[in-house]
Amino acid sequence: MLNLSIAPCTLAIFGASGDLALRKLMPALYRLELDSLLHADTRILALAREDVGSASVHLALIEERLRQQVSAQEWKPDVWEGFCRRLEFLSFDFTRAEGYRTLAERAAGDHPLVAYFATPASVYGAICQHLVDAGVGERTRVVLEKPIGRDLESSRAINDEVARHFPENRIYRIDHYLGKETVQNLIALRFANSLFETQWNQNHISHVEITVAEKVGIEGRWGYFDQAGQLRDMVQNHLLQLLCLIAMDPPSDLVADSIRDEKVKVLKALEPIAMEHLATRVVRGQYGAGYSEGKAVPGYLEELNANEGSGTETFVALRVDIRNWRWAGVPFYLRTGKRMPQKLSQIIIHFKEPPHYIFAPEQRPFLSNRLIIRLQPDEGISLQVMTKDQGLGKGMQLRTVPLKLNFSETFHTERVPDAYERLLLEVMQGNQNLFVRRDEVEHAWKWCDQLSAGWERFGERPRPYAAGSWGPGAAVALIARDGRSWYDDL
């Protein structure tokens, strides 16, 4: 159990009957309850639209979904009862003033009010305005879910609306990847070990791969996803955040803005992908029918509620270059997709070959050190080093051997906490480290916008790939063009 002292707050979840609240937020809060990490006075206001029905219907919905998420050992009737005692239900139209008076009464007291917007961004402005009008603005922290807009312009408009009512130091923009234990660990790995930091530049690193693959398809989210696509849904936020954590300079301390300043420098240094490079540096894909875990699965265009003509991408691979001293000449290859063969998030740092080669020429292609950072599943780090194969008859035969650290074995953790557990705790404590600042979001959009503009200009349609494969063949060609291949030791 963590040794944390968490201050009390009132947590108001707007959209408490929606998918995010039921799938992520409620299970995270229940587990915090289970680990005794919620202050005794913390209360949770579950705010839903008017059509959800009575409090008991909403509660039954929460319980049903929660039981699907938590394991049998985690389900404890007394913990659930304690959790229910914190919960209060309200349903009202978030765009009208009336409901906010009751909300203000229920949130009376001196504790901070954490207003979690698990709603479409189109209502963020209205919610902010009504919170201020109801007189609770001064003690409110607002938590914004992604996507914040669909391009730089719409993102600015949303951020402006929120900023009209709340200062930046009370705005918490979620990118749940920043709450993942292993993503946090990147900071420790890089800045608590001088071993890596001295090698972390273009003198020693040849290239970096970042893969975020999902086995699932669209899972009933077609309406939302089709408006976004993989570039906006995953690259603009999660993949660029991972890239920033790998590429940024050491911050001077762990204060939120010190880390965010360094991330912004990376985002500003991303080389725009020129139109003439669009075809060779970026690949868009869309999954067709195929197999997942041996079962036939439909293609993107055959999913529930799909629009047959959609040209939205479910896969993106790209080569990204960073214009600064540390990374000049070191490509970052990113790929992310739905309906891949497995769920896998990993970062691979490929080190350069030694400057002078003295071993048998046929062994040369295998010679290079790699640092593999596995974010999920089997969280851990593995450093591949070259050694001599053992035995009298082997001569100077080289072998790649991993030096491995598996987090769950080493720390005997039964369960890696979900990102939302950590993020909720951080916002309850008023700590902005793991949240994204406005300029980060906007620089990331600016960079992604040039790609979507290029696709639109050339009317480029995504390339098909079979569900259950690693994406279109063009993604292999993208990296092969530089004489490399994706690391697929799975």
Q: Which residues are catalytic?
A: 238
| DSSP-derived 3-state class of residue 85 | helix
* CB of residue 23 to ligand BG6, shortest distance in Å: 10
* CB of residue 214 to ligand BG6, shortest distance in Å: 5
Q: Which of 233, 303, 379, 421 binds ligand BG6 (CB under 6 A)?
A: 233
Tokens of 115: 């207003």
226 binds ligand BG6 (CB under 6 A): no
Which residue, 143 or 278, is less far from ligand BG6 as judged by CB? Answer: 143
For residues 107 and 12, the answer to whether their CB atoms sit within 8 Å is: yes
Tokens of 382: 């593995």
Which residue, 23 or 106, is less far from ligand BG6 as judged by CB? Answer: 23
Across 155-167, b (16+ Cβ under 10 Å) vs e yields bbebbebbeebbe
Tokens of 447: 């960079």
Cα–Cα distance, 453 to 319 (Å, whole number)? 17
* CB of residue 233 to ligand BG6, shortest distance in Å: 5
* CB of residue 414 to ligand BG6, shortest distance in Å: 19
Q: What is the dihedral of CA 73, 77, 79, 80, to 10 degrees?
A: 110
Q: What is the DSSP letter of 470?
A: S
Cα–Cα distance, 300 to 287 (Å, whole number)? 6
Binding string, 132-151, against ligand BG6, x = CB under 6 A?
--------------------
Which residue, 33 or 233, is less far from ligand BG6 as judged by CB? Answer: 233
Q: Which of 33, 181, 209, 214 binds ligand BG6 (CB under 6 A)?
A: 214
| DSSP-derived 3-state class of residue 41 | coil
Q: Give backbone dihedrals phi and psi of 50, rounded to 5 degrees, phi first.
A: -60, -25
Which residue, 233 or 440, is less far from ligand BG6 as judged by CB? Answer: 233
> Binding-site residue total for ligand BG6 (CB under 6 A)?
2
Q: What is the dihedral of CA 451, 452, 457, 462, to 10 degrees?
A: 100
Cα–Cα distance, 162 to 125 (Å, whole number)? 6
Residue whose CB is nearest to ligand BG6 in the complex, by number: 233
For residues 437 and 168, the answer to whether their CB atoms sit within 8 Å is: yes
Which residue, 214 or 442, is less far from ligand BG6 as judged by CB? Answer: 214
Q: Which residues pair with 399 in a beta bridge?
A: 387
* CB of residue 174 to ligand BG6, shortest distance in Å: 9
* CB of residue 317 to ligand BG6, shortest distance in Å: 17
Cα–Cα distance, 129 to 133 (Å, whole number)? 6
For residues 249 and 329, the answer to whether their CB atoms sit within 8 Å is: no
Among candidates 420, 466, 71, 444, which has minimal Cα distance to 233? 444
Q: Which of residues 53-92 bind ligand BG6 (CB under 6 A)?
A: none
Cα–Cα distance, 311 to 227 (Å, whole number)? 10
Which residue, 233 or 449, is less far from ligand BG6 as judged by CB? Answer: 233
* CB of residue 418 to ligand BG6, shortest distance in Å: 8
Among candidates 250, 132, 238, which has minimal Cα distance to 187? 250
* CB of residue 360 to ligand BG6, shortest distance in Å: 42
Tokens of 464: 């098909």
Which is it for strands 332-337 and 315-320: parallel, antiparallel or unpaired? antiparallel
Residues 6 or more apart whose CB falls under 8 angstroms from that of 72 comprise: none
Which residue, 79 or 228, is less far from ligand BG6 as judged by CB? Answer: 228
Contact residues: ligand BG6, CB under 6 A: 214, 233
